[in-house]
Chains A and B, each alone.
Chain A
């Protein structure tokens, strides 16, 4: 408990992070429920995007993820010329857990992630590999992994304004890399991920668009329930922190909840050895009547 409360001071940091592209890439339903505190979690639904260190322990799987932003319907009139609707969604598919060596300690996964609105899309092609390294101590283990990302963003012009036709319609690409580490010791797991290590100007995106960030996370199993807490530093922004708790009700059903400075989330997790289904409902509490739902389905074999 003591360790966990160490994180509390970080939560009160006043922060004003401004957006950047691909900033939702590291989110899955499970991390959303618990306030984006996911990098140390042992059962993240896709290590490829959250923390590649977990890839070494991943079983063969297919993971499907869909997110939809929910806004109150516009009352100002649907027939406004030039109106780009707030239709925002996010899709993600990963396949993997293939062992690269005998002994199942080094594995590989691939994935495609996309966020899109009618005028705009961000697409990431992901290739990750990770290894679980046994340590001399019986109760501890070290996991390491990296994810290579090809990032592409596309936008089309506002086609109401005549002058803008063809003016900005464009597509830009970049290459980047995430590297992660998890250290497990009895009922505690410590995780760290460094994202966007490669300077994004290897591609055509500007480095200021794809910001490097570091996320530290801690997870503790209290037996009856577990807690997680993470801190994220993104370049040019102050730190943000998130907290989450997960409570198993039966052997296959859990409920979870969490928050960070922007979101309050809650969800249920159905988990058997073969399938898992996660539903997250998240309130964007600074934005009135706005929320998002995120559904993930994972099939292991």
Chain B
């Protein structure tokens, strides 16, 4: 314990704690990546002729065992490639018949040969080399090393086998093979052909590159199974099976000339990752996302890939940061930001060897938007807007509500780089979904960025206030920086006030028909008191209290008035307008409304404002309704079936789709005649099931 009190001990303890903390964080957030590292932690390749210790990520090619023209006794099985700080390693599994040659061609990116047909012997520069083959290479592959074995003898550097370096002899203008240093697993004790064997070879970096290569150096490899050599007759065999698979058909004659087209590419990386696997990562950017496409490793790779993407290059190089898993060799990265560089690499799940790195930038407008999630005033306008970092060519809002599945399109208005639309919310509780699409010359951006997603607004008319000195009535977005409030005097501690906002369509027939002529409802507030478990509406206050309401309409405040509904009549309250708000002293909580307009009851005004729901489904509670611009004194309403037979008669301008006996009528076309104040209207409506 004494050690802890010394400064050094304290520092150690603090460092230890910090490390512990960091490790813990690392475990918490990157446990996936960490497990990967542990699963294939760097290990030593033992040159024992058995590839069991090679990791999955190091087996870079698994070849078909049915693709040799010479049958199952001449098949290449697998190729492993890896490295450490000293050596480049490869391992091979193959079966060869008597007389055939196994050759690995290595292109280190230095000057190499386009054909190995005219390689000269190390012993005699004028003599064609025994191991020269009638093989040619496509552009892109120029080997300068080869390792080879007679059958699967794997003699190391004995009997002419082993690793050779092609050296250009300028005097003779020829390429000559010269032995190179390497290490190899022991000779195969069973040297006969036709038996599957594995070999492991280590080549020092000094041999291949003169030292440890710089990061990013590329090594390319082709493994080939060739016919042997008949020097007497001048026949030199050619490739008849290869890893990776080749595009050209192998020649029918064992020594026919052959061009190798395909090779495997490895990029040296001195980080944690021993074998970077070149995947030919391709990026296709579109709108808010990027499609990443890569090559499978060999023809038979079947695995889960982890696609790492981040704007932090260091993290990506260490296989940290976000990754997405997929079994395909392509994926969409969604929800990306604009105008920043993303780095991408992929790895096989369970391996720590990543592909090459690539990067991309999504160009296009950068939008910022505060999503509207709640709206408390059904039927009122809600401003949906975003700002852009630039002027846009088009800005559109897409929205839907109710049971409708399809989005409606609206062109946004603009004010500077702010784009907006005041959308009238449905006149009932429910949800409204929306998203934006903005385009400029560089492309399109959607909000939310994830394709196919949208924002959802919950439209709920209920607002709950807890007793306070001033009970702030939130605005339509449920924000309280709104200047409406109810004074808390005359309430008890613990009291809650519930406010349900309503529109014209929420009114019952009594309240609706009692509305004063020529006044229209701007916004209604049903205010009730919750005391304990009980809810009181109306609730008569012991004394007056102050209510301040801001109106939610385009009306001039001078046209607005505040009214109270007592169950039979609307009573106008003495309200004064104050800075865009209506202020009144109220005696009771209950149904209050802001009404607009004055009261000119001229004949001109005596008309039907509109007819709602002439196609309607009574079973869903819908109805046909005539909405008047004034209050008619007398209404007579008849409904007939298509044959002219009267099936309903009433004295209000609403038909709920039921006949005189109260049954919902069969779907179809119905005719109606509405009489009001000496006027008559005949029309048809459609009843749906």
Instruction: Decide if A and B are genuine partners.
Output: yes
Knowing A76-B681, A82-B612, the reply to whether A19 touches B642 (Cβ < 8 A) is yes
A74-B681 CB under 8 A given contacts A18-B659, A119-B615, A157-B615: yes
Residues 270 to 296 of chain A near chain B (Cβ within 8 Å)? 284-290
CB-CB < 8 A to B688: which residues of A?
A: 155, 168
Are the CB atoms of B674 and A76 closer together than 8 Å? yes
Task: Report which of B402, B641, B667, B683 forms a contact with A83, defined as CB distance below 8 A.
Answer: B683
Is B683's CB under 8 angstroms from A161's CB?
A: no
Chain B positions 389-434 with a Cβ under 8 Å from a chain A Cβ = 401-406, 408, 424, 426-427
Q: In chain B, residues 615-660, which have Cβ atoms closer than 8 Å to a Cβ of chain A?
A: 615-617, 638, 640-647, 659-660
A:47-62 near B, CB below 8 Å: none
CA distance A166 to B615 in the complex (A): 12
- Asked, given contacts A72-B680, A88-B684, whether A164 binds B646 with beta carbons under 8 Å apart, the answer is no
**With contact pairs A117-B686, A209-B689 given, residues A16 and B666 touching in the complex (Cβ less than 8 Å):** no
Contact between chains at A163 and B402 (CB < 8 Å): yes
Q: Is the CB of A209 within 8 A of B666?
A: yes
Kindly report which residue of chain A lies nearest to residue B406, judged by CB atoms: A166
Q: Are B668 and A81 interface neighbours, CB within 8 A?
A: no
Q: Could you tell me if B610 and A23 are in contact, using CB atoms closer than 8 angstroms?
A: no
Q: Are A158 and B640 in contact (CB under 8 A)?
A: no
For B640, list chain A residues within 8 Å (CB): 284, 286-287, 290
- In the bound complex, do residue A23 and residue B671 qualify as a contact, i.e. CB atoms below 8 Å apart? no
Interface residues on B, range: 35 or more
Beta-carbon contacts under 8 Å, A157-178 to B? 157-158, 160-168
Chain A residues within an 8 Å CB radius of B667:
20-21, 209
Q: Give Cα A84 to B638, complex, Å.
A: 16
> Do B645 and A262 have beta carbons less than 8 Å apart?
yes
Q: Which residues of A contact B404 (CB under 8 A)?
A: 163, 165-167
Are A82 and B610 within 8 A (Cβ)? yes
B661 to chain A, nearest CB (A): 7
CB of B602 to closest CB in A, whole Å = 15
A interface residues, how many (CB within 8 angstroms) = 55
| B contact residues around A288 at 8 Å (CB) | 673
User: A120, B645: Cβ atoms under 8 Å?
Assistant: no
Q: Once bound together, how far apart are the Cα atoms of A287 and B649, in whole Å?
A: 12
Q: How far is the CB of A23 from chain B (nearest CB, A)?
A: 6
From residue B464, how far is it (CB to closest CB) to chain A in Å? 27
Taken together as a complex, chains A and B put the C-alpha atoms of A20 and B643 apart, in Å, by 11
Query: Shortest distance in angstroms between B21's beta carbon and chain A's nearest beta carbon?
Result: 55
Contact A75:B615 (CB < 8 A) given known A263-B643, A286-B640: no
In the complex, are the beta carbons of A167 and B402 less than 8 A apart?
yes
Q: Decide: B682 and A158 in contact? CB cutoff 8 A.
A: no
**A86 interface contact, C-beta 8 A:** yes
Chain B residues contacting A86 (CB-CB under 8 Å) are: 671, 682-684
The answer on a CB contact under 8 Å between A19 and B665 is yes
B673, A18: Cβ atoms closer than 8 Å? no
A162 engages B668 (CB within 8 Å): no
Q: Mark A166-198, 1 if CB is under 8 A from B, else 0.
A: 111000000000000000000000000000000
B residues less than 8 Å from A208 (CB atoms): 666
- Return chain B residues, CB-CB under 8 Å to A285: 644
A80 interface residue per 8 A CB criterion: yes
Assess A76 versus B686: contact at CB under 8 Å? Given A158-B615, A284-B644, A287-B673.
no
- Interfacial chain B residues near A211, Cβ < 8 Å: 666
The verdict on B17 contacting chain A, using a C-beta distance below 8 Å, is: no
A18–B665 CB distance below 8 A = yes
Instruction: Collect the chain B residues with CB atoms within 8 Å of residue A209's CB.
Output: 666-668, 689
B686: which of A72, A74, A155 is its contact (CB, 8 Å)? A155
> Which chain B residues border A74 with CB–CB below 8 Å?
680-683
Q: Which residues of B contact A69 (CB under 8 A)?
A: 671
A238 in contact (CB, < 8 A): no
CB distance from B489 to the nearest CB of A (A): 41
A223 is an interface residue with CB less than 8 A from chain B: no
B41 within 8 A of A: no
B681 touches A287 (CB 8 A): no
| Contact (Cβ within 8 A) A158 B643 | no
CB of B604, distance to nearest CB on chain A (Å)? 11
- Distance from A119 Cβ to chain B, minimum over Cβ atoms (Å): 5
Q: How far in angstroms is the closest Cβ of chain B from A179?
A: 23
Any chain A CB within 8 A of the CB of B613?
yes
**Closest chain A residue to B678, Cβ basis:** A75
- List residues of chain B with CB within 8 A of the CB of A284: 640, 643-645
Nearest CB on B from A47, distance (A): 22
Whether B686 lies near A119 (C-beta < 8 A) is yes
User: Distance (Å) between the CB of B623 and the closest chain A CB?
Assistant: 12
User: Can you name 5 A-B pairs with beta carbons within 8 Å?
Assistant: A19-B670, A80-B611, A155-B686, A167-B402, A284-B644
Q: Which residues of A approach B to under 8 Å, CB–CB?
A: 16-21, 23-24, 69, 71-72, 74-77, 80-88, 115, 117, 119-120, 155-158, 160-168, 206, 208-209, 211, 261-263, 284-290
